[in-house]
Amino acid sequence: MRQSPSNPPMAPEDETSTFHLENVNLRRLTVADKVAGAASLVLLISLFLPWYTVSVPGASDTLSGAGIHRFLWLSVLLSVVVLTYLIVHATVGWDSTPMNRLSREPVLLSLSAVQLVLVIIPFFDVPDTLIRNVTVGFAYGAYVGLVAAIAALVMVLVPYVRSVLSGR
């Protein structure tokens, strides 16, 4: 079959420039990376779950964390960054990324610490009301988010502290 001059044969794509599911190698991730990634995913989901219950005599409603505290959208963004970061690492490896000059543990540690701070703030900034007989309390989403943020930080912090103490 003859190729027309207007349609030259296409060169094969560079395998490192595109995402292919078969290139994902979870063995590139440590157990801490996997648990931190799973905890970040749980945190991301929890931000849209009910964080507060508002009750009046005869009625009740719930409010999500991201719906009531706008700054929690930053935690949504950070969760997406952590997950993307881990997916890129599992796909192309750490040495193939532009960030290879940075150690990945401090990056994940910093992102996880900021996530935890952002999740803790709503526990001190409970929406209040001056209306009689209206009560505001925490719902399960707040606790799920807090546990997930703590798990993500601990799973990155423990191996990092061990590596620092061992002099690596």
pLDDT at 32: 84
pLDDT at 98: 64
pLDDT at 28: 81
What residues make up the domain containing 38? 23-159
pTM of the model: 0.77
- The CATH number given to whatever domain includes residue 89 is 1.20.140
pLDDT at 91: 81
| Residue 5 placed within a domain | no
Binned at pLDDT 50, 70 and 90, residue 145 comes out as very high
What's the rounded mean pLDDT across residues 113-133?
84
| Residue 46 placed within a domain | yes
Domains in the chain: how many in total? 1
87 to 70, 108, 166: CA distances (angstroms): 27, 13, 28
Task: Burial-class residue 57 by CB neighbours within 10 Å (0-12, 13-18, 19+).
Answer: exposed
